[in-house]
Chains A and B, each alone.
Chain A
């Protein structure tokens, strides 16, 4: 490989574009915006999980209130996404608790709260289904087949079976969902906390029956998303817009924490079953995997979450004979949806715990088993994707083992109240399969006096998209970082660069911007922006996604290149058990990740640390208690997330192996760190003697295991 030319800006931790505004309190989030004549909006929601509305009673003086129900929807009553099965407002049939039925707006919030309390809805309840195993409706089935299971199991000396359970998880962005809609001439403008401006625009067009140019969506500073603001904002934007259009006044709707927890999407719970055939020397001969995800009441993004789930279900391992069966089903609970990792944390939890159980069965250590089976360049995945040179499973494994002195440390901890476990995992970057081709994303670069302006629909949600996009453009154009400005993600101002999801913003949208910048550099032909504008007039360059020719995906057969590339990582977790209370303290997580090229070391590290801690929460403390289809602990006082006091030391090791189609070699990073910590922690507890197959590994659950004689 030739040495890359020295980079000035890419790979340096330049100041984030939004840093100063955020540390001084000047950054304006949705709840910070106000307009003359503003009304506040609220949502009346179902209080049963399943049934029909019998009657609605407004036991308050409705003077001064704007009231919207299903009859006020001028277009179609659906939140347009994939299956268009979710109504914007309930007409008759209630499918889950907290389903929106009526919308109220008033200028006085106290009056609004009183009115909400005095709105009575009577129902004809029906029998709900909460157990996904008994669901009457399958939203989506997927199948992956490679080789022949019969042949594979015939080669196996040992068969290991296991069932693994993963729970709901709340994204818990610190800023709840919020939208502000302003009636405009023949249309509407909606400002909001969101990840996908064009998803919201499409949903508004369908509900309002308006053409695109009458619906403007503007992303304002967004206080975290993690997938939780991928699809849900479409619903809330429609509600705010319906109220605003009826009232002919601006309407703001900001959820309080309880409403946000009760009504909005969570990570899909799942049951994953493994039957694995292995040879005595530890080669995976056959993998038979069944994935069941609970989609909740409506399809939303479930089909795609399942897709990513099954595509990661084998973990980063080679095996010639694989069968994966996946299904995502309906239950009478609020719809589950996008959450960082998007199905992969669920399935990789299962496979990584299964791997440690296989190692145990064979009397091998967990590292050796993984070394024997880790995917290498030239291997094929379960879908038959032949992996390229940027396949780093072994590299991250060996680096993590070396850094932590894993084998020796594990022996040293034997018999103490500390355990050590690891997980090896991967995460496909960008949309699944042919998704990027279908999206056909565009990015625009515009010449301005001071330099250039980036016009993309990518939402800055804290991940640093503005900053890395500016780095890529500045580096390519040979301009200073400060000469690049980023336009607000406003559908009137930016092309559709696709949603801000799937670890695609740096890699895919960044790649488009790199191409824009390269062409602009040629067009400038050595002139400064000011000189060019004076001599030739305005200049802007737009590029559309171009599929690398070698990527082939067959959606029907579910064969081929599931993703353009993968990030690879290995986590080592050390935990300490309180033998009296069974409380687990995560002591240290070492996260070794290969990201292609690190565009901004401080922010890349921040992504890994943040994702790791979110996954430590998933493993140990975060528990959505569902009671009769309702989240019973919808408060931050009892849905716990890790605080500074619950946080392990997190050692981050960033490795690079440039991806040929990523900007400067970059792959996606956002989701990868979510996949590994839960199984690493479960395996550390296994090292302590607990047969953990379900998370969160709460003290109560560990005590159960102790009583069953599997623990200490």
Chain B
């Protein structure tokens, strides 16, 4: 199975029905992508496939043949977002954080609170009450785009 993982072409020997989540964690040794529920409800396993946020526990690896897959380990150009998750309290226990950041990275410049809430509605967090996450995403947007919120 060939696909592009974090910018590099990889060739993985795996059953096409194996969950992308397991392929990433076990075959590719990238454990930054987490499993919270195994049924696509919590969003902890979110990765980008061709730029779109998907829950990798619901994706058979056969479906990403030839696609671009990005995980938290390969997230580039979003340092401001990651830093803001630290400074604004967007990460507490951290288990939802990689998935949360992957989804947040798909937001356009200077998203409104409503846009943030809609985008992140499939990512559960049990620690923060989401407030720190909203502030992190807003702050990152502000930094990147000259103070417009």
- Among B61-69, B123-131, B141-149, the stretch that binds chain A is B123-131
- Among A20-28, A431-439, A545-553, the stretch that binds chain B is A20-28
Q: Is A404 an interface residue (CB 8 A)?
A: no
Q: Name A606's contact: one of B118, B123, B124, B131 (CB within 8 Å).
A: B131
A25 near B93: Cβ-Cβ < 8 Å: no
B97 near A650: Cβ-Cβ < 8 Å: no
User: A606-B92, A644-B117 are known contacts. Are A23 and B97 too (CB-CB below 8 A)?
Assistant: yes
Q: Is A18 an interface residue (CB 8 A)?
A: yes
A606 near B127: Cβ-Cβ < 8 Å: yes
A1-41 contacts to B (CB < 8 Å): 13, 15-16, 18-29, 31-32
Q: Is A222 an interface residue (CB 8 A)?
A: yes
Q: Is B72 an interface residue (CB 8 A)?
A: yes
User: A24-B72, A174-B36 are known contacts. Are A647 and B130 too (CB-CB below 8 A)?
Assistant: yes
B86 near A650: Cβ-Cβ < 8 Å: no
| B 83-94 binary contact with A (CB < 8 Å = 1; else 0) | 101111111111
A636 near B121: Cβ-Cβ < 8 Å: no
Q: How far is the CB of B26 from chain A (nearest CB, A)?
A: 9
Set of chain A residues within 8 Å of B92, measured between Cβ atoms? 224, 462-464, 603, 606, 610
Q: Name B33's contact: one of A23, A25, A225, A641 (CB within 8 Å).
A: A25
Cα of A646 to Cα of B124 in the assembled complex, Å:
11
B86 near A636: Cβ-Cβ < 8 Å: no
Cα of A405 to Cα of B128 in the assembled complex, Å:
27
Set of chain A residues within 8 Å of B89, measured between Cβ atoms? 13, 602-603, 605-606
A311-357 contacts to B (CB < 8 Å): none
Set of chain B residues within 8 Å of A610, measured between Cβ atoms? 92, 126-129
Q: Is B111 an interface residue (CB 8 A)?
A: no
Q: Name B94's contact: one of A256, A462, A643 (CB within 8 Å).
A: A462
A605 near B131: Cβ-Cβ < 8 Å: yes
Cα of A605 to Cα of B128 in the assembled complex, Å:
9
A221 near B121: Cβ-Cβ < 8 Å: no
Cα of A647 to Cα of B95 in the assembled complex, Å:
20
Q: Name B129's contact: one of A19, A28, A224, A612 (CB within 8 Å).
A: A612
B129 near A609: Cβ-Cβ < 8 Å: yes
B37 near A25: Cβ-Cβ < 8 Å: no
**Total interface residues in chain A, CB < 8 Å:** 55
A645 near B131: Cβ-Cβ < 8 Å: no
A645 near B126: Cβ-Cβ < 8 Å: no
Q: Is A535 an interface residue (CB 8 A)?
A: no
Q: How far is the CB of A671 from chain B (nearest CB, A)?
A: 14
B91 near A23: Cβ-Cβ < 8 Å: yes
A219-255 contacts to B (CB < 8 Å): 221-226
B63-107 contacts to A (CB < 8 Å): 71-73, 82-83, 85-98, 101
Set of chain B residues within 8 Å of A641, measured between Cβ atoms? 124, 126
Set of chain B residues within 8 Å of A29, measured between Cβ atoms? 34, 95
User: A174-B96, A612-B129 are known contacts. Are A636 and B42 too (CB-CB below 8 A)?
Assistant: yes
Cα of A32 to Cα of B24 in the assembled complex, Å:
12
A23 near B132: Cβ-Cβ < 8 Å: no
**Nearest opposing residue in chain B for A603, CB measure:** B89
Cα of A224 to Cα of B121 in the assembled complex, Å:
20
A23 near B130: Cβ-Cβ < 8 Å: no
Set of chain A residues within 8 Å of B123, measured between Cβ atoms? 644
Cα of A22 to Cα of B125 in the assembled complex, Å:
14
Set of chain A residues within 8 Å of B31, measured between Cβ atoms? 25, 28, 31-32
Q: List 9 A-B contacts (CB under 8 A).
A: A24-B73, A31-B34, A173-B95, A226-B126, A462-B93, A609-B129, A613-B130, A636-B39, A643-B122
Binding site for A on B (CB under 8 A): 25, 30-39, 41-42, 44, 71-73, 82-83, 85-98, 101, 116-118, 120-133
Additional 9 contacts, C-beta under 8 A, given A21-B94, A174-B95? A173-B93, A174-B93, A224-B92, A606-B131, A606-B132, A610-B127, A636-B42, A644-B123, A647-B117
Binding site for B on A (CB under 8 A): 13, 15-16, 18-29, 31-32, 171-176, 221-226, 256-257, 461-464, 602-603, 605-606, 609-614, 635-637, 641, 643-645, 647, 650, 652
